Each structure stands twice: as C-alpha cells, then as structure tokens.
Amino acid sequence: MLMPPPSSTSARPPAPPGANASLDKWLSYLEAIHPTEIDLGLDRVLVVLRRLFPRKPAARIITVAGTNGKGSCVAALEALLLADGRTTGAYTSPHLQDYNERVRVNGVDVDDEALVSAFERVEAARKSVSLTYFEFGTLAAFVVFADSGVDDWILEVGLGGRLDAVNVMDADFAILTSVDIDHVAFLGNDREVIGFEKAGVLRPGISAVYAEPDPPRSVLQQVQAQKVALALAGRDYTVVKPGDEGGDHPLRFGAVRLIYGDERIELPEGPLPVNSVAAAVVAVRQLQPGLPVSMIENVLRGLAVPGRLERLAEKPAIYVDVGHNPHAAEWLSGRLASLHKDGAKVRAVYAALGDKDVEGVVRAMSKVVDHWYLAGLDVPRGLTGRELLRRFSSVVDAGADVSEDVPSALSRVREDAVNQDLVIVFGSFFTVAKARASLGASRT
C-alpha cells in the first residue's frame, strides 16, 4: 500500500511487534498507533527526535519542499552527489510498491532488516508519545542515515513544510520546487498561504533555490527575514529551450540549456520536470562546485524516476505519471503534446482521490487528450468510476469510458488503441502502482 488508511480510534493502543517481527507487521503497527492519518505539528516528533539525537547529526541536511517535482529533484541531487564521491541518504514519499523505496542509502533501497531495526529504535525512544505513520517512518529514516554515516541527507517534505515531520531536522540547504494548490484541507487554497507553509523549511543564513520564476510574496518575505541566500529561477539562473538559445551552439534535440553564471549546462527535456532538475544542478554547483559540467550532463542524460512519465509498453506506447493536481497536469499535458505524433490519438486512463481538484486536472489534460477512460480507485479517499464521471462531466462535454478499476480500464484502452496511439495512465500514486502491477512492470 502507498499511504495508510486512517488509524484505529480504539482507546487501547496495540501492542508493539515482538522480537523478529517482519516489516509488514511493523507497518501494520504504525498504521494503528495514532488516531489520524495526518496530524501536522512538530511538538510530538521533536520530543522523540531529541531522545534519538541529542545533537544535530554531522551530516549535511538538504531539504526539498514544494507542491510538485520534489521526487525528481531528490533523484537528481542524489545522482549528482554520488557522482562527485559523496555518500547519500534519500528520503521520499509515498512509495509505489514497497515501503523500502522511501529510504535509500547511496541510491539503493534499504532492506527490511535495516528498517525494522530503525523502527525498534524509534519505538523505544517514543515511549508514550503518539506518532503518525509518516512521523514514525521519518524518524526511522533519520536513524538509518545516521547509522550509515552518509555525508548528505536529502529529505523530501511530505506535506507543506513548516509543520511537516521532516522539518524537525534543520536544513543546511533548501530547495523549493514549486508552490501551487494542493492539499487544500491542510494548507489552504491560496498560493500565498501555501508559500508561507513551504518556506517554513528555511533556516537563518542558509542558501536555497527556488525552481520557478514566480514565487509567492510570502516565500520572498521569509527569504528576506531569515537572510537566506536565494538562487531564483529567471533571475539568478535561466533555462533556455531550443530555438531561444541563439549563438553558435545550438542545442541537440530533446535538450534545454541551464545558464548559471558563466556556465552553460545541457539538460535533458525528458521524463522529469526540467525546472526541478535545473534546481538540483544549481544546488550542486553551490554544494560541490568542483563537479565537472561533462559529468553533470552525463549523469542527468540517463536519469529516470519510476512513475514520472515512465514508459512501460510499446505499440501503443503506454506511459504512467503520478501527477494529481492541476499544476502537475499542466506540465504533463505539455510533455504529451511534444511526444504526440500527427494522426495518432492520446488516450488517458485517469483515476483519482476525492480530495483532489479533479476538475482542474481535467481542464489541463483536455488540451491533449482525445479519449478518456475513467477508473475507480478502491482505496481510502478513492473515487469510484461513476463519481469520477460526474465530476469529469462538469468540465468536459464529451463521453468517456468508465471502468471499475485501473486494470479494467487498461484492458479497454488496449483493445481500442492502435499502434501509433499514445496512452497515459495518471492521477495518483495509487493509479500508477496499479497500472505498473497490471502491466507487469518490475518493482522499483
């Protein structure tokens, strides 16, 4: 599973797993020990953190926050730092198939034994403090990284920033990938308010990168108040696309150019959002200025992240993407437009959670989608196919196929599509996980 369902509200807490308990038993325990799935705030986590870490770890802490593009940014940072001989711990969420995906050491998912050992340590330290599934797992990741002795901790914020469990660890460097509308029940529906929450990961005097040229005023106010040295896209560095670069050095097909100071670095305009990748490069130029440009370009040329515009089949081409809000859908529609061939159709399998802006997503994707296949999600907060159709129909005056689940929708689209068509399966991590399993994709 990707995210736990709401925990039991039973007055009697469950007994912790015994000796030699499996990872699955520990994860079931984590789901049950707190009355709610999401409980923003740092007070409880901070108590346990101080028991586990009386002093801040010696490692360099790099925190990545933002509405979209965080996982891609973490992956790029991780790959580049490893290429320069650093050792890394990377923490991301949610996962697609195995919980272990959330915690990587030197680019490799940690094994069950390391996670169970870390869970046991957190359990011993928390005593009577109640922690959510995410909070418990975050502290366990810190334990794994500390035990591994890695140079850099790359930490993806789960939700928001200021009150997210990851933010109990003071950042030495921060990246904000984007600020847009998502998780409105927790963060609000205004970019200024959300920007304030995201910028909560900043610390006085550190350096940071903002990956888009239009930060909310609330972010810039935090930057100024905390005297953060900010590298801002469009001001301190730029990303230039083919046809706009000029000069005597035209870009190769499928590439863009990052201009940062006197450097010109070629980046792939591929399956990962180039703004997030560029921000990672700018960060690494500050953190590891000796890394050769040629190595940066070679590392990024082959970089991919499961579930991010990931191609899983041919004839027809089938891609999956975890994008689940309008901001992500705008990026995805643009990439699909560039991949689309004349005379072919774009067919979309869409399954979503009920608390997402379905209407905004549909508007963005309708620019490129020729035919829709709506699917139900039998998970907490998941919409049935019929519920999704009702919301879809308020935006698009066109028919759509409706299926009970993602595998059924995939079967239908494969019956309808011809070889040159392009199929995109998107809408949530749950959607992509079910598609990957249905298509027999290897585990990440």
Asked if 182 contacts 327 with a C-beta cutoff of 8 angstroms, the reply is yes
Same domain, 173 and 322: no
In a domain, 1, yes or no: no
Residue 379: count other Cβ atoms within 10 Å of its Cβ: 19
Q: What pLDDT score was predicted for residue 255?
A: 86
Same domain, 268 and 395: no
Same domain, 230 and 370: no
Q: What pLDDT score was predicted for residue 249?
A: 60
Give the total number of structural domains in the chain: 2
pLDDT, tens digit (0-9, with 9 covering 90-100), for 74-113 = 999 999 999 999 999 999 999 999 999 999 999 999 999 9
Same domain, 99 and 151: yes
Same domain, 329 and 222: no
Asked if 160 contacts 197 with a C-beta cutoff of 8 angstroms, the reply is yes
CA distance to 44, 255, 357, 421, per residue, from 21 (Å)? 25, 49, 40, 48
In a domain, 6, yes or no: no
Return the SS3 of 321. Answer: strand
Q: What is the CATH number of the domain that holds 413?
A: 3.90.190.20
In a domain, 328, yes or no: yes
CA distance to 176, 323, 354, per residue, from 303 (Å)? 20, 18, 32
CA distance to 59, 170, 379, per residue, from 250 (Å)? 40, 42, 48
In a domain, 15, yes or no: no
In a domain, 95, yes or no: yes
**How far is the C-alpha of 131 from the C-alpha of 48, rounded, in Å?**
9
State which of 245, 270, 301 marks the end of a domain: 301
Q: What pLDDT score was predicted for residue 8?
A: 41
Asked if 197 contacts 163 with a C-beta cutoff of 8 angstroms, the reply is yes
Asked if 425 contacts 310 with a C-beta cutoff of 8 angstroms, the reply is no
Two tokens at 55?
A: 């002093």
State which of 242, 277, 301 marks the end of a domain: 301
Q: What is the CATH number of the domain that holds 43?
A: 3.40.1190.10
In a domain, 378, yes or no: yes
Q: What pLDDT score was predicted for residue 206?
A: 98
Same domain, 335 and 284: no
Q: Is 155 exposed, middle or buried (0-12, 13-18, 19+ CB in 10 A)?
A: buried
User: What are the residues whose beta carbons fall under 8 Å from the beta carbon of 244, sequence distance 6 or more?
Assistant: none
Per-residue pLDDT of the chain (444 residues; tens, 9 = 90+): 344 444 444 457 788 898 889 999 999 999 999 877 777 789 999 999 999 999 999 999 999 999 999 999 999 999 999 999 999 999 999 999 999 999 999 999 999 999 999 999 999 999 999 999 999 999 999 999 999 999 999 999 998 899 999 999 999 999 999 998 666 666 677 899 999 999 999 999 999 999 999 999 999 999 999 999 999 999 999 999 876 655 446 556 678 999 999 999 999 988 999 999 999 999 999 999 999 999 999 999 989 999 999 999 999 999 999 999 999 999 999 999 999 888 899 999 999 999 999 999 999 999 999 999 999 999 989 999 999 999 999 999 888 999 999 999 999 999 999 999 999 999 999 999 999 999 987 655
Q: In what order do the strands lie in the sheet with 237-240?
A: 237-240, 255-260, 263-268
Same domain, 214 and 349: no
In a domain, 4, yes or no: no
pLDDT, tens digit (0-9, with 9 covering 90-100), for 158-168 = 988 999 999 99
CA distance to 63, 162, 251, per residue, from 248 (Å)? 38, 46, 10
Same domain, 270 and 318: no
Same domain, 44 and 190: yes
State which of 301, 326, 351 marks the end of a domain: 301
Output the pTM of the full model.
Answer: 0.92
Q: What pLDDT score was predicted for residue 196?
A: 93
In a domain, 122, yes or no: yes
Domain that holds residue 57: 23-301
Same domain, 136 and 213: yes
Same domain, 264 and 327: no
Same domain, 318 and 351: yes
**How far is the C-alpha of 365 from the C-alpha of 369, rounded, in Å?**
6
